[in-house]
Amino acid sequence: MATVTKKFRDDFEIWAGHRIAIGQWTQAEIADFKAMLRTDLEPGPDRLRVGVKVILATGVEVLAAIDDHEERYRLWADFFAAEAEAIRHAVGENR
């Protein structure tokens, strides 16, 4: 099972709590997403994006899989950190 840092967990919890609070996600959807995230953060090749292709702005088609689990972790950590910061900022502005 993948382990995460306290910051990752805290940022995720802020993001998830906000999504539930605004009615965008349900508690069950967050639980399903968390299970998917655990799978995505496990060491080894990317099991979620196998065979998925994306088209870059240049029109070039590339595989979407990210086989380096540390890179997947970094991308998720960056996403949740940015989201949590935006939520903290928005909440701070509304006080």
22 in Cβ contact with 30 (< 8 Å): no
User: Can you give the pLDDT at residue 1?
Assistant: 54
Residue 86 domain-assigned (yes or no): yes
Judge if pTM exceeds 0.85: yes
Residue 43 domain-assigned (yes or no): yes
Q: How many domains does the chain have?
A: 1
Residue 53 domain-assigned (yes or no): yes
* Range of the structural domain that residue 17 is part of: 6-93
Residue 73 domain-assigned (yes or no): yes
Residue 1 domain-assigned (yes or no): no
Residue 41 domain-assigned (yes or no): yes
Q: Would you state the structure tokens that stand for residue 22, as one six-digit string?
A: 């605004």
User: Which residues share a beta bridge with 63?
Assistant: 53
Question: 31-83: per-residue pLDDT in tens?
Answer: 999 999 999 999 999 999 999 999 999 999 999 999 999 999 999 999 999 99
Residue range 18-41: mean pLDDT, rounded = 97
Residue 54 domain-assigned (yes or no): yes
Rounded Cα distance, 72 and 70, in Å: 5
User: Can you give the pLDDT at residue 92?
Assistant: 82
Residue 32 domain-assigned (yes or no): yes
